[in-house]
Structure formats: C-alpha cells, structure tokens
C-alpha cells in the first residue's frame, strides 16, 4: 500500500503519462460520446455567464454540461495530485527540468526556481508587478482568443486532431509552436526585463 | 439518472484522471513548457507524441470494431473543415501559441493549476474567457479560410 501511495505521489515519466493522456481520447468517445477538447469550455462559460446577444454564444450551454463537468474534474484532479497526494520527496516539489533551461531562466532573472511555476512571475503577489500582470493576463487572454479562432487547443488539435489525422490540426499545431517559439525567445525577454 | 447527468458524471471522472496525470507528468509546469520551447528536453515531446500514438491506435480500433457510443451511436470524429489559406488554423494557432509560451499553461493545465492550489490561475482563466468573448464579438470580421 505504501509503495502504491509512493508511486502515486511521485512525478511520472513521459512514457507513463503520455499513453494515459492518449487513452482519454477513446474513453471520452466511447463512454461520453464526445471528442476530447477542453478550451470549448471557455465558450460555455461565456454562454452561461456573460449577458448579450452575440450569435456565437447564443446556445444552451447546458447541452454541453459534460464539458464543464470535465473541466471541474480536471480541477479536482489537480487538487488530488497536489494537495491530497502531495509529493513526499522534497525533490518532487521542484520540477526536474534540464540544467540548460535552469541556466537560461536564471539569465532572464528567474532566481527562485522551486515549485510548479515561478512565484516571482505567477502568484497573487506578482500580479502587482508589470511582468507578473502581463504574463498572467496577456497570456490568458491570447490563449482564450487564439483557441477559439483556431477552433481547438492542445487537447482538441494536438492530441485529438492529430490522432484523427486531420490536416487542420497539423496546421494549428505548427501555429502553436511558431507562437510559442516567438514568445519564448522574443516576448519573454522583453516582459522579464524588469526582473533583472 | 438521466442520460445527460450520467454522461456528466463519467466526464467528471475522466477529467479527474486527466488532471491528476497532468500534475504528475509536470506538464502543468511553466518550467516544462519553457524547456519544451527551448528544445532542451524530450519530456514534453514524449508526452504529446505518445499520447497522439495511443489516441491514433485507439481510434483505429474503434473504427475497425465499429465500437458504439453511450447511446448506441456510431463513433466518428468529424474532421475540421479546411479550405483556402486555412487562416484560422495557422493565425489562431499562432495567437494561442504566443499565450502558451508566456503563461506556460494551456486550457487543461489552467484548470489543474487552480485545483492544485495555484489560485492566481483564476485570473488567467478569467482573462481567457474574456479573450474567447472578444473572439465571439469579432468573429464576422476575422479571416477564417
């Protein structure tokens, strides 16, 4: 039992996690009858909460309650993994990224590299800084806008779409990476300039 | 239980499992996303690549054995429409990628991070919902294909 708990509360290698994520595609399809995608839940939140007459949000979000239920589940999974079965090994509280990445981030001014996310940048306190505010608010905004324009996110396009051999998803995934490379190498150094 | 509720409960459980794996694989970590975009580790490529491979084989099995959905319906993921310059996919995708590279979390991880206690991601979620709303407002004026 203790070994099982130990296995459940330690970081998993990619070859365990990746296939498990891949299995969500058939599980949702067979069990729920829906293709795997998460970002459409943002649209449901708009349809459910923001008043107005926009045609794009003029549908009954309750018909898509499974999507919101899935999102609530993901939130619960995060709670279970980090609050209930928190990593016991102190090393598990820091992410084992490569030394090259650590050095690059240090050069950008990220001196505290513990935790899942850098608290210098992404925390309630950091929202008071220009860099922190930009990362959280602008980052979130671009994700919400881009994912609806592209009609899918990492799950809908990269995992489900590529599994289904869709050309549209291949184009979208190339777009995701192009955008990410631009952010990482051009935008972040500008945003983080204040940290150094 | 009504059909809608039964499906929602199953969906909740699958979400729970997915969120758990996202945390354990560290795919929700800003550091891992930076590492991926700096091409400094195979970790994230391994996760996404093996997920796609398993998804692909699963869909092949579903088609081959004509496995049916919860209401006995035939299961087919309708391919997304393509045409013209496919602007929505590359341009929308690039906008999404710009955000992903900055925030270090895509939609699934945003929910998982909130649950894990990183409640500042509520702000990112609110911002993403605003972005989605703006897309809905500008949709008719944006190029799609």
Query: Could you report the per-residue pLDDT of B98-136, keeping only the tens digit for each?
Result: 999 999 999 999 999 999 999 999 999 999 999 999 999
Q: What is the pLDDT of residue A63?
A: 86
Q: Is residue A64 within 8 angstroms of chain B, CB to CB?
A: no
Residue A3 pLDDT class (50, 70, 90 cuts): confident
The residue ranges of every structural domain in chain B are 3-41+79-141
Q: What is the pLDDT of residue A31?
A: 93
How far apart are the C-alpha atoms of A87 and B20, rounded to whole Å?
12
Query: Could you report the per-residue pLDDT of A86-133, keeping only the tens digit for each?
Result: 876 655 578 989 999 999 999 999 999 999 999 999 999 999 999 999
The residue ranges of every structural domain in chain A are 1-88, 94-196
How far apart are the C-alpha atoms of A104 and A107, rounded to whole Å?
5
* CA B142 distance to own-chain centroid: 23
Residue A1 pLDDT class (50, 70, 90 cuts): low
- Judge whether residue A196 has pLDDT over 60: no
Q: What is the pLDDT of residue A2?
A: 72
Q: What is the pLDDT of residue A191?
A: 95
How far apart are the C-alpha atoms of B75 and A12, rounded to whole Å?
31
Q: Do B128 and A141 make contact, defined as CB atoms within 8 angstroms?
A: yes
* A contacts of B115 (beta carbons < 8 Å): 74-80, 82-83
DSSP sequence for A27-90: HIIIIISS---STHHHHHHHHHH--S--GGG-S-GGGGHHHHHHHHHHHHHHHIIIIIS--SSG
The partner residue sitting opposite A117, judged by closest CB among B12, B29, B126, is: B29
Q: How far is A195 from chain B (nearest CA, A)?
A: 15
Q: What is the pLDDT of residue A52?
A: 84
Average pLDDT along chain A:
92
Average the pLDDT over B32-52 and give the result: 97
Q: Which distant-in-sequence residues (6+ apart) come within 8 Å of A158 by Cβ?
A: A169, A172, A173, A176, B48, B52
- Judge whether residue A8 has pLDDT over 90: no
Q: What is the pLDDT of residue A6?
A: 82
How far apart are the C-alpha atoms of A162 and A135, rounded to whole Å?
29
Q: What is the pLDDT of residue B1?
A: 53
Q: Do B115 and A143 make contact, defined as CB atoms within 8 angstroms?
A: no
Q: Encoding tokens for residue B94?
A: 């690039």
Task: Name which of A88-97, A159-168, B70-79, B85-94 the model is least confident about.
Answer: A88-97
DSSP structural state of residue A154: I
How far apart are the C-alpha atoms of B91 and A119, rounded to whole Å?
31
């Amino acid at each position: 039992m203790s070994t099982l708990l130990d296995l459940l509360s330690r970081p998993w290698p990619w070859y365990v996690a990746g296939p498990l994520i891949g299995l969500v595609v058939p599980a949702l399809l067979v069990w729920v009858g829906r293709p795997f995608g998460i970002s459409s839940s943002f649209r449901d939140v708009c349809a459910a909460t923001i008043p107005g007459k926009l045609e794009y949000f003029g549908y009954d979000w309750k018909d898509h309650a499974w999507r919101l239920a899935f999102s609530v589940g993901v939130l619960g999974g995060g709670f279970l993994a980090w609050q209930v079965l928190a990593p016991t090994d102190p090393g598990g509280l820091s992410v084992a990224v490569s030394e090259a990445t650590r050095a690059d981030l240090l050069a950008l001014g990220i001196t505290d590299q513990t935790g899942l996310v850098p608290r210098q940048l992404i925390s309630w306190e950091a929202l008071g800084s220009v860099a922190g505010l930009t990362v959280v608010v602008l980052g979130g905004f671009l994700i919400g806008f881009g994912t609806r324009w592209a009609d899918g996110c990492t799950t809908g396009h990269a995992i489900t779409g590529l599994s289904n051999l869709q050309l549209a998803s291949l184009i979208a995934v190339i777009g995701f990476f192009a955008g990410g490379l631009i952010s990482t190498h051009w935008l972040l150094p500008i945003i983080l300039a204040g940290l150094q | 239980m009504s059909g809608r509720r039964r499906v929602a409960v199953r969906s909740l459980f699958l979400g729970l499992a997915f969120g758990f794996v996202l945390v354990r694989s560290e795919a929700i970590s800003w550091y891992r996303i930076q590492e991926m975009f700096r091409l400094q580790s195979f970790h994230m490529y391994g996760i996404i690549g093996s997920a796609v491979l398993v998804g692909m084989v699963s869909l092949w099995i579903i088609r081959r054995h004509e496995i049916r959905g919860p209401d006995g319906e035939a299961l087919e993921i309708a391919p997304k429409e393509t045409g013209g310059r496919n602007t929505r996919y590359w341009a929308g995708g690039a906008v999404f990628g710009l955000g992903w590279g900055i925030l270090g979390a895509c939609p699934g991880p945003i929910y998982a991070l909130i649950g894990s206690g990183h409640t500042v991601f509520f702000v990112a979620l609110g911002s993403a919902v605003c972005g989605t709303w703006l897309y809905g407002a500008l949709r008719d004026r944006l190029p799609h294909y």
